[in-house]
Amino acid sequence: MRMFAFLPLILSACVATSAPPSDNAVLAIGDSVMAWNGGQGIPEAVQATLGRPVVDQAQSLAHLTNPNGTAGALGFDISRQYRGGDWDWVILTGGGNDLRGACRTPDEAGILNGLIGPGLTGDIPTLIARIRANGSMVAFIGYYDGARGAATGFTPCQGAFDIINARMTRLAAQDAGLLFFDAGNVVDAGDRGLYAPDLIHPSPRGSAIIGQALAQRMAAFE
């Protein structure tokens, strides 16, 4: 299953910046797949591998779009984590919290298509187009499989996550500045050491593997 991250609510203000610290800086936005493990997360692994600064604005519990204005202002709206700027790359995750609780219900199709529909329109393509319009390259991270044999709150979302990944693959094929990175290609679902104790989030080793592989793809993509 393509797993997403869920973290107990931490009301820390997450104020996105539009001022990159250098002309080759990377901005990381997204949910807790990106934010997990603090100083040992995916953004830190990308920074160490690429040798360039990465600013992390990702927030656990974030939705791609959050209708709650206060929550959005605190960083729980991924589309609002990005506020422009001359970033070399923007790396992002998102969509799982939007779908959580709706998978395998009558609401699933509407939410899924609102994120990215069969015609490749929706909140994800809109955010990517907004970033690309500022000249930044984009790397979208697809959710990895959950630990083999473990049932979690995201288990019902397997089909929806696979559809998102398939549609993102198609979208990336149409944009020379968009990289789709499927984290499931580097996370071994049979190795529970790559997962946090909740068997949803990555462990520090899992984040390192994802971040290093992503950075290598980014370097080859340029």
For the chain (222 residues), the mean pLDDT of every run of 10, in chain order, is 40 54 93 95 98 96 90 91 95 96 95 98 98 97 90 89 96 98 95 95 97 98 90
The closest of 140, 191, 190, 192 to 168, measured between CA atoms, is: 140
The closest of 37, 27, 2 to 147, measured between CA atoms, is: 2
Strands 178-182, 137-142: parallel, antiparallel or unpaired by DSSP? parallel
d(Cα 123, Cα 131) in Å, to the nearest integer? 12
Domain spans of the chain, in order of start? 26-221
Query: What's phi and psi for 134, nearest 5 deg?
Result: -90, 5
Specify the pLDDT at position 17.
Answer: 57
CATH class of 26-221: alpha beta
Specify the pLDDT at position 2.
Answer: 45
Specify the pLDDT at position 67.
Answer: 83
Specify the pLDDT at position 146.
Answer: 84
d(Cα 209, Cα 214) in Å, to the nearest integer? 8
